[in-house]
Chains A and B, each alone.
Chain A
Amino acid sequence: AQSVSQHNHHVILSEAASLELGCNYSYGGTVNLFWYVQYPGQHLQLLLKYFSGDPLVKGIKGFEAEFIKSKFSFNLRKPSVQWSDTAEYFCAVNPAGGGADGLTFGKGTHLIIQP
């Protein structure tokens, strides 16, 4: 079974700072990778996903992530954060090629952006 590890549970940054959230996964085969964001009191929204091709993936709201296969990592980045980026961020994986296992999530990173 697959597992996902997010290194930082809480991150506090000032506006305009650069952001990098770590995500590592464990699985013996090929995976699809996702980052979701959950704003306070809201549902999960997809930020970006990777399943093949260019390992540098660009998503919504200026976020990007890089898949490094040798490191089993899929870190999320944003060059300059805004106060509105305050939210919970989840990295998730599912096995590529089929199966109804759904997504396996990391435990999330709570990001607070200070004005």
Chain B
Amino acid sequence: DTAVSQTPKYLVTQMGNDKSIKCEQNLGHDTMYWYKQDSKKFLKIMFSYNNKELIINETVPNRFSPKSPDKAHLNLHINSLELGDSAVYFCASSQAAGEAYGYTFGSGTRLTVV
């Protein structure tokens, strides 16, 4: 069983569209995250979500909104997509916020905005 699964793996869409990426973890972890990896491979955290507490990286545009229906899911919804949103988005989870047990990453969603 995949520990952290993301769908879709690839997403190609036009500017201005709204899209969602889904993430599910079956590890029983308490905290989930979204990271963005740009074309230069730089990884930056976008959101973390723990027990209904959402921490937002202040640099993330408000077109991006995480939605967590339950502890095992953290979806990413993006409104009015722009060319600069093209990137690989990784979901991750950890046993507890700030723990040293490591983070488990999903396989990524490659978003291409045309």
Known A-B contacts: A45-B105, A101-B48. Give 6 more (CB < 8 A): A34-B103, A42-B107, A52-B100, A95-B98, A100-B48, A108-B43
Interface residue count on the B side (C-beta < 8 Å): 26
Known: A94-B98, A100-B53, A101-B48. A44 touches B42 (CB 8 A): no
Contact (Cβ within 8 A) B55 A46: no
| Chain B contact surface mostly | strand
- Separation of A90 and B45 alpha carbons in the complex (Å): 14
Known: A32-B100, A100-B48. A43 touches B90 (CB 8 A): yes
A:61-110 near B, CB below 8 Å: 88, 90, 94-105, 107-108, 110
Contact with A along B17-51 (1 / 0, CB 8 A): 00000000000000101010000111111001110
Total of A-B residue pairs, C-beta within 8 Å: 69
User: From residue A11, how far is it (CB to closest CB) to chain B in Å?
Assistant: 14
Interface residue count on the A side (C-beta < 8 Å): 29
Of all chain B residues, which has the CB nearest A38?
Answer: B41
Residues of A within 8 A of B (CB): 32, 34, 36, 38, 42-46, 49, 51-52, 88, 90, 94-105, 107-108, 110
